[in-house]
Amino acid sequence: MEFKKIVVCGGGILGSQIAFQSAYCGFDVTILIRKEDSEADVKKKIKNLQKSYEKTIDEMNPKKPNDASWARGISDAKGFNKEACLKRVNLAAKNIKIINEQPIALANADLVIESITENLDIKNAFYKQIAPLLADKTIVVTNSSTILPSKMAKATGRPEKFLAMHFANVIWKNNIAEIMGHDKTAADNFDRVVKFADAIRMIPLEAREEKAGYLLNSMLVPFLLCAMDLVANGVADPETIDKAWTLGTGAPHGPFQILDTVGLVTAKNIVLQYQKVPNLFDPLLKKMMMPYNFDGMLRVLDKYVNAGKLGKASGEGFYKYN
């Protein structure tokens, strides 16, 4: 079965990107927004994505597909046609549907991509809501960055048709899709999701065993937690920590610049999830470094979140943006 109708549940930073990239690649795309979401905000994200795609297309070097400016999510190595790409962008922005009524949005969906708050209870409650509305054919995936799919499979009512597909932020450039099933995921459904990832010009990365954090976040989250821990313990400020990382490694972005891109509400939810994990460090690691100061991290994040400084998307987080 080839996917045709894609429903993205949640119009946040990654949800809107997944929807736009899928529409750019010719799929019929609907964004299902919840009561707490604003249609106006989602439309603004779509408009901003249109501008970002247009800017990337303008900067691409069609003769050097391995150049840093090349974005496989926009055009793969088979060729690049600027006018055709710009036309795809305009059609994507025009054709994405934004709907807040679950029965209408989910009707006849081939693939549902859940991209809502990184909270297990909220996700499971949402799955139980939508389960009766889904066609038998519908495959459901979660874009969760930290939660194992096996912890949500039962709530979906279709564990054999449920797995995880996690995207990196700025997916038209950082074009990976980490795909991870659980012990009840049917192999053919896993393969269909892999094919879909390739169809929207992502590089499918198959995780062979369940692992919270998948591949990318298993490395990235501890890095970000260590950076926030330095601030929580008063060791240094965010800008100094970012300089230590970028100047010391040559990396383009420091941890707090990355956190601003991810969004500080998401960062807070991740801290809350990791705070629940017992014995995070074994005795040897505890001798080598400070245990994480989770309470301190949450105080730091709350200071920004409560002031409406939610990260790059809101115009200000640890840094200010135009």
Higher model confidence: residue 66 or residue 144?
Answer: 144
**Distance between CA 311 and CA 232 in Å, rounded?**
18
- Listed in order, strand segments (DSSP E) in 134-220 are 139-142, 162-167, 176-180, 203-207
| H or E stretch at 101 | none
Q: Which residue carries 């790409």 as its tokens?
A: 85
**Distance between CA 245 and CA 210 in Å, rounded?**
30
- Supply the pLDDT for residue 64: 67
Helices 82-95 and 13-24: crossing angle in degrees, nearest 10, is 120
Give the mean model confidence (pLDDT) for residues 35-51. 90
Higher model confidence: residue 166 or residue 281?
Answer: 166
Query: Phi, psi (5° rounding) for residue 50?
Result: -55, -45
- Supply the pLDDT for residue 256: 98
Residue 96 sits at the vertex; the CA angle it makes with 90 and 102, to the nearest 5 degrees, is 175
**Distance between CA 121 and CA 131 in Å, rounded?**
15
- Supply the pLDDT for residue 291: 66
Give 137-162 pLDDT, tens digit per residue.
999 999 998 899 999 999 999 999 99
List the domain boundaries for the chain: 5-207, 218-314
- In this structure, are residues 214 and 207 in contact, taking their beta carbons and an 8 Å threshold? yes
Q: Which residue carries 């990654």 as its tokens?
A: 14
- Supply the pLDDT for residue 227: 96
- Supply the pLDDT for residue 103: 97
Q: How confident is the model at residue 288 (pLDDT cuts 50, 70, 90)?
A: very low
pLDDT(319) > 70: yes
Half-sphere exposure of 268 (CA within 13 A, CB side): 17
pLDDT(214) > 90: no
- In this structure, are residues 162 and 149 in contact, taking their beta carbons and an 8 Å threshold? yes
pLDDT(276) > 80: no
Give 170-183 pLDDT, tens digit per residue.
999 889 999 999 99
Give the mean model confidence (pLDDT) for residues 127-135. 98
pLDDT(285) > 50: no
Give 220-234 pLDDT, tens digit per residue.
988 999 999 999 999
Higher model confidence: residue 41 or residue 36?
Answer: 41
5-207 has which fold? Rossmann fold (3.40.50)
Q: The domain at 218-314 falls in which architecture? A: Orthogonal Bundle (1.10)
pTM of this prediction? 0.79
- In this structure, are residues 217 and 145 in contact, taking their beta carbons and an 8 Å threshold? yes
